[in-house]
Amino acid sequence: MRSIVSILLTINSIVCAADWPNWRGPNHDGISKEKVPKANFSRIAWRKQIGVGFSGMAVSEGRLFALGCTAKKRGNEETLYCMDSGSGKILWKDTYPAALVDYLHEGGPCASPTVEGKRVYGLSKSGRLVCYDVANGKKHWNVDLMAKAGLPRPPQWGFAASPVVLGSKIIVEATFTCALDKTTGKEIWRSKVYKPAYGSPMAFEFKGRTYLATLKTDGLVILDAATGKTIAFQDWRTSFQTNSTTPIVIGNKVFVSTGYRRGCALFEFTGNSLKQIYTNKSLSNHMNNSVVLGEYVYGFDGNTHQAGPKELVCMRLADGKVQWRAEGYRCGSVMAVQDSLLVLGETGNLALGAASPKGFKPEAQAQILRGRCWTVPVLANGRIYARNAAGELVCVDARP
CB atoms within 10 A of CB 6: 10
CA distance 343 to 335: 7
Q: What is the pLDDT of residue 6?
A: 39
Mean pLDDT of 362-391: 96
Reported in sequence order, the residue ranges of 73-168 that DSSP labels E, i.e. its strands, are 75-84, 90-97, 114-116, 119-123, 128-133, 139-144, 164-166
The pLDDT score that the predictor gives to residue 307 is 58
> Of the given ranges (147-156, 203-212, 385-394), which has the lowest mean pLDDT?
147-156
| HEC letters along 307-357 | CCCCEEEEEECCCCCEEEEECCCCCCEEEEECCEEEEECCCCEEEEEECCC
pLDDT score, position 9: 34
The burial class, CB within 10 Å (0-12 / 13-18 / 19+), for 102 is middle
> Is the pLDDT at 13 greater than 80, yes or no?
no
Query: Is 11 a residue whose pLDDT tops 50?
Result: no
Residue with the larger pLDDT of the pair 13 and 99: 99
Sign of CA dihedral 363, 368, 374, 380: negative
- pLDDT of 244 reads 78
Buried b (16+ CB within 10 A) or exposed e, 132-146: bebeebeeebebebb
Residues 162-180 have a mean pLDDT of 96
Rg for the chain (alpha carbons), in Å?
20
pLDDT of 305 reads: 57
Question: Given pLDDT bands bounded at 50, 70 and 90, which one contains residue 14?
Answer: very low
Domains and CATH numbers, the chain: 17-397 (2.130.10.10)
DSSP string covering 217-238: SSEEEEEETTT--EEEEEE---
Q: What is residue 146's predicted lDDT score, i.e. its pLDDT?
A: 94
Q: Compute the mean pLDDT over every residue in the chain, rounded to the nearest whole number.
A: 91
Instruction: Check residue 107 and give its pLDDT.
Output: 87
pLDDT band with cut points at 50, 70 and 90 for residue 375:
very high
Give the C-alpha separation, 89 to 102, whole Å: 29
Alpha-carbon span 159 to 146, nearest angstrom: 9
Which one-letter amino acid corresponds to residue 386?
A
Structure confidence at residue 8 as a pLDDT band (50, 70, 90): very low
pLDDT at residue 139, as a whole number: 98
Condensed to tens digits (0 to 9), the pLDDT of residues 271-327 reads 999 999 999 999 999 878 999 999 999 999 976 556 566 799 999 999 999 999 999
| Residue 3: predicted pLDDT | 44
Q: How far apart are CA 272 and CA 161, in angstroms?
A: 25
Q: What pLDDT is recorded for position 220?
A: 95
Half-sphere exposure of residue 311: CA atoms within 13 angstroms, side-chain side: 16
Pairing of strands 333-337, 31-32: parallel
Report, as an integer, the average pLDDT of 118-137.
Answer: 97
pTM, two decimals, is 0.93
pLDDT score at 15: 43
3-state helix, strand, coil in the chain (%, to 5): 5, 45, 50
